[in-house]
Chain A
Amino acid sequence: MKTLTVSVVTPDGPVLEDQYEMVSCKAESGELGILPGHIPLVAPLAISAVRLKKDNKTEKIAVSGGFLEVRPDKVTVLAQAAEKPSDIDVERARKAKERAERRLQAKQDDIDFKRAELALKRALNRLDVAQSE
C-alpha cells in the first residue's frame, strides 16, 4: 500500500510526523479525503478532527483551524493549535466549554459572541477527540 508523509506543525513545534495511507479532514468548504498522489492543494480547515488512516486503524488529531497543504507525497497541516488525543487536557477543555456557554447565554455584542462561539467549537472538538480515544 502506498503511503504519504503527514506532518502536523504548530508554532510550538511539530506535533506529529509519520506515514499514513489516507488523510480525511473537514475543510471549510466540505469534507476532503486525500490519498497518496494527490495534486498540490491548499485548503483552510474547519475546527475539527483530522483523521489519519493506517493499517485499518484511525488516529485523530484535534485541530483548531489553520490550513492544509497537500503535495503528491506529503501532507502538512499548519494550525495554531493541534493535539493528539493523549495530549488533550480534558479538564481545561470542559472548563473552556462551560465558560463559552455562559458567554453565549449572556449575549453581549457581536465580536464577543463570535469569539465565544469559536471557543465553544474548539472546546467541543477537543472533548470529542479526547473521548474517541
Chain B
Amino acid sequence: MASLRDIKGRINSTKKTMQITKAMEMVSASKLNRAEQNAKAFVPYMEKMQEVVASIASGNTGVEHPMLKARPVKKTGYIVITSDRGLAGAYNSNVLRKVYQTIQERHQSTDEYTVIAIGKVGREFFKKRNMPVAKEIIGLADQPNFADIQTIASETVEMYASEEIDELYLYYNHFVSAISQVVTEKKLLPLTDINPEGQKQTSYEYEPDEEAILKVLLPQYAESLIYGALLDGKASEHAARMTAMKNATDNASEMIDTLTLSYNRARQASITQEISEIVSGAAALE
C-alpha cells in the first residue's frame, strides 16, 4: 500500500489539474457562446447569397461559368479545418481520420491531390505523412473574421479557376449541439448542388449581364462557403474542448474521491497499528 504522504501528494496534484481543466471548461463555454453568435451573424449574408446564386443559376440556362461545370478530374483539393491546439477530445482526430481514409481510397499517388490545411494540427498531420500541403494557415483567432481567411480562401478558389485543381472538397466538424459534432464532407467546387427549391424566386434584371455577375458572385460565394465552414468548425472546436474538459474535471473529482478513500483507509490502518503496538507494549510490561 502506498504511504500516506504519497497519496496526499497525488490528491493534491489531481486537485490542481482539476482546477485547470475546470477553468478551461469555462473559458471554452464562453468562447462557444461567442462562436455561436458569429455563426448567427453570418447567416443573413449566406442566405441572401444563396438566393441570388440560385435564382441566376435556375433562371436562365444559357449562362456558363467554369465554376458551375464539372470537368475531368486530374487533381483534387482538400480543405481540412482543424484546430491549432489539442485538448479538444476527438475533434481533430475525427476529421483527420476521415480525410486520410478518403484520400487513401480515392488516390494512388500524391500527384492526384493536394491539401489546404487550416489549423496547426492538420498541417502537422499531413506534413508528417509526406502528403502534399499546397496552402496552410495557422494561428487563426478563436473568433475569426472574414479578413483573416480571405487570402487563403480566394487563393484556393483561384487554384480552381486556373485549373491547378479540378475539384475541391471541404472537411470540417459540423456543430450540431454542445455535445455533438459531426464530421462533414462538402463538395465545394464545381458548384453543382445549388438547389433553388424552397426559396422564393425573383426574376432579376442583370446589369450588365448574367455572366459578368457570375464572375463576381461565384468566387465570392465559394469563399463565403469556406468562411461558413470555418465558423462552424470553430464553434465545434470550442464545444468539443468544453466537453473534453468537463469529462476531465469529472474524472479528476472521481479520482480524488477514490484517493481520499484510500488515504483515510491508510490513515486508519496506521492508527490501528499504533494502538495495537502500544497495547502490546503495555501488555509486555505487565
CB within 8 Å: A-B pair count: 84
Residues 29-68 of chain B: 1 if any A CB is under 8 Å from the residue's CB, otherwise 0?
0000000001001101100110010001000000000000
Within 8 A of B (CB), among A20-36: 27-29, 32
Contact between B207 and A41, CB atoms less than 8 A apart: yes
Query: B44: shortest Cβ distance to chain A, in Å?
Result: 5
Q: How many residues of A contact B (CB 8 A)?
A: 26
| A76 partner residues in chain B, CB cutoff 8 A | 48
Q: Which of these, B45, B206, B215, B228, contacts A42 with CB under 8 Å?
A: B206
Contact between B202 and A40, CB atoms less than 8 A apart: yes
Residues 28-58 of chain A: 1 if any B CB is under 8 Å from the residue's CB, otherwise 0?
1100100000011111100000000000000
Q: Which of these, A42, A66, A69, contacts B220 with CB under 8 Å?
A: A66
Query: A130: shortest Cβ distance to chain B, in Å?
Result: 17
- What is the CA–CA distance of A71 and B206 in the complex, to the nearest angstrom? 12
Residue in A closest to B158 when the chains form the complex, CB atoms: A111
- What is the CA–CA distance of A65 and B213 in the complex, to the nearest angstrom? 12
| B217 partner residues in chain A, CB cutoff 8 A | 44, 67
Q: How many residues of B contact A (CB 8 A)?
A: 30
| B146 partner residues in chain A, CB cutoff 8 A | 10-12, 80-81
Contact between B147 and A32, CB atoms less than 8 A apart: no
B145 within 8 A of A: yes
| A14 partner residues in chain B, CB cutoff 8 A | 41, 44
A90 within 8 A of B: no
18 interchain pairs, CB-CB under 8 A: A9-B48, A10-B45, A11-B45, A12-B42, A12-B146, A28-B212, A28-B216, A40-B205, A42-B213, A43-B207, A43-B208, A44-B212, A66-B220, A67-B213, A67-B220, A80-B150, A80-B223, A81-B147
Interface residues, chain A, CB within 8 Å of chain B?
7, 9-14, 27-29, 32, 39-44, 65-67, 69, 71, 76, 78, 80-81
